[in-house]
A and B are shown apart, each in its own frame.
Chain A
Amino acid sequence: MIVNGKPVSAAIDARTLLVQFLRETLRLTGTHVGCDTSQCGACVVQVDGRSVKSCTMLAVQAEGAQVTTIEGLAQGGRLHPMQEAFRDHHGVQCGFCTSGIVMSALDLVRRFPDPSEHQIREWLEGNLCRCTGYHNIVKSIAAGAKAMRG
């Protein structure tokens, strides 16, 4: 598979989850394991441009796919506009859920470049944050989408 633009291959146990492959084999530890039951969204990455929960997908199911993790967003030392928006609007407290929410938000913006607050909140159904109360996350995503529209 291609991870963050680089071809990777490894011989792994067939039962390896995509999130284990990313974290333990590739050492890309920005993708987190929260609940491990497909609910919290801390493990969200993009596979062929779609946000998925990497704890509920086998690594072998992503064979040949383009996978993007949080580590793949910043270019040339500059944060992605969505990451920058989370910093500017304090969309982060403990940060555990943040990478999954950023990866999820990018899929939202792909479908709805100018999402309403309602669309943002609905879209976050699969991302749990226990610190922020979501208020600043919603603001961050709206600002990130705006920055991405340019």
Chain B
Amino acid sequence: MAKATDGRYLAGGHALLPLLKHRLDHPSDLIDLGAIAELKGMAVAGGMLTIGAMTTHAEVTNSDVVRASIPALADLAAGIGDPQVRNRATLGGSVAGSGPTADYPAALLGLGATIHTDRRQIEADDFFIGTSKPVLGKGEIVIAVAFPVPEKAAYVKFPGLASRYPLAGVFVGKFLNGVRVAVTGAGPCVFRHPDMERALATDFAPGAIEGLRIPVAGLRSDLHASAEYRAHLVGVVARRAVAACG
């Protein structure tokens, strides 16, 4: 990668290859990460679930380790794309790409995960910062993500009718020391919702965030949904996510 003038790492290819086919990206070199066994696998230790960057969504969905520690994460992976997409697309690709409608970033931010790269560890709060400036340095590779195991968690999204990407998706993570709420699909980048987090820390019930106003400013508005509609959806799916935590 050091020798490439404008290289890209190729993970599952389900974000990058479509871009290349549409001539929207013109890398000088592609480096396929598919053969690196160290980038795959899932394990729980010390209250953290660590998943290798090249682990596919299907592997996360079908993992007993994930199902036993953070079932919400297995459910989230099961809802991405379709079975063939899940057989190829990876956690690392989703995180490194961090598209505005990606599902995984909501889990990383909603659980306060740590992103391990070949150079350093980055907290999700410092990774998904919503600017166009990339957080990852040139040639830096995401190797794994470590998720703190919560007491309870759930992810609920409202998929767009045509694309099936979330118009709004909310991941709720309840921990001993507080609640985290992360919203994807609605804004230019996944973001936390501090008002909901405070309300749910006091009373972890859907009613606690009923009537909480979601600011419309800064939300995405396109042919699929207006910003006002997305703001409304964020409240709806957030209440459903809290209810799904049981």
Residues of chain B within 8 A (CB-CB) of A56 are 13-14, 17-18, 88
Size class of the contact patch on chain B: 20 to 34
Listed stretches A37-45, A75-83, A86-94, A137-145; interface member: A37-45
Interchain CA distance A58-B164 in the complex, whole Å: 25
Query: Could you list 9 examples of A-B contacts with CB < 8 Å?
Result: A37-B18, A51-B83, A51-B84, A52-B84, A52-B88, A53-B88, A57-B88, A107-B83, A125-B81
Q: Is A31 an interface residue (CB 8 A)?
A: no
Interchain CA distance A134-B143 in the complex, whole Å: 41
> Across the interface, do A38 and B85 meet the contact criterion of CB distance under 8 Å?
yes
Q: Is A70 an interface residue (CB 8 A)?
A: no
Residues of chain A within 8 A (CB-CB) of B88 are 52-53, 56-57
Interchain CA distance A104-B84 in the complex, whole Å: 8
Choice from A36, A41, A44, A58 contacting B13 with Cβ under 8 Å: A58
Interchain CA distance A44-B164 in the complex, whole Å: 19
Measured CB to CB, the closest approach of chain B to A147, in angstroms, equals: 21
- Residues 78 to 131 of chain A near chain B (Cβ within 8 Å): 104, 107-108, 111, 123, 125-127
> Across the interface, do A123 and B83 meet the contact criterion of CB distance under 8 Å?
yes
> Across the interface, do A52 and B87 meet the contact criterion of CB distance under 8 Å?
yes
> Across the interface, do A53 and B21 meet the contact criterion of CB distance under 8 Å?
no
Residues of chain A within 8 A (CB-CB) of B210 are none
Q: Is B160 an interface residue (CB 8 A)?
A: no
Residues of chain B within 8 A (CB-CB) of A15 are 20
Select from chain B the residue with minimum beta-carbon distance to A103: B84
> Across the interface, do A61 and B32 meet the contact criterion of CB distance under 8 Å?
yes
> Across the interface, do A41 and B82 meet the contact criterion of CB distance under 8 Å?
yes
> Across the interface, do A126 and B84 meet the contact criterion of CB distance under 8 Å?
yes
Residues of chain B within 8 A (CB-CB) of A1 are none
Bitwise, A29-65 to B at CB < 8 A (1) or not (0) is 0000000111001001000001111001110110000
> Across the interface, do B58 and A61 meet the contact criterion of CB distance under 8 Å?
no
Known: A37-B18, A50-B58, A52-B88. Contact between A57 and B13, CB under 8 A? yes
> Across the interface, do B34 and A61 meet the contact criterion of CB distance under 8 Å?
yes
Bitwise, B181-214 to A at CB < 8 A (1) or not (0) is 0000000000000000000000000000000000
Bitwise, B29-52 to A at CB < 8 A (1) or not (0) is 010101000000000000000000
Residues of chain A within 8 A (CB-CB) of B10 are 58, 61
Interchain CA distance A123-B78 in the complex, whole Å: 11
Measured CB to CB, the closest approach of chain A to B156, in angstroms, equals: 17
Interchain CA distance A15-B17 in the complex, whole Å: 10
Choice from A44, A51, A60, A123 contacting B32 with Cβ under 8 Å: A60
Interchain CA distance A37-B17 in the complex, whole Å: 9
In the complex, besides A38-B14, A38-B18, 13 extra interface pairs with C-beta distance below 8 angstroms are A36-B21, A50-B58, A51-B83, A52-B84, A58-B10, A58-B30, A61-B32, A104-B83, A107-B87, A108-B83, A123-B83, A125-B82, A126-B84
Select from chain B the residue with minimum beta-carbon distance to A56: B17
Residues of chain A within 8 A (CB-CB) of B164 are 125
> Across the interface, do A61 and B13 meet the contact criterion of CB distance under 8 Å?
yes
Residues of chain B within 8 A (CB-CB) of A44 are 84
Measured CB to CB, the closest approach of chain B to A52, in angstroms, equals: 5
Known: A38-B14, A58-B13, A60-B32. Contact between A53 and B83, CB under 8 A? no
Measured CB to CB, the closest approach of chain B to A145, in angstroms, equals: 15
Residues of chain B within 8 A (CB-CB) of A60 are 32
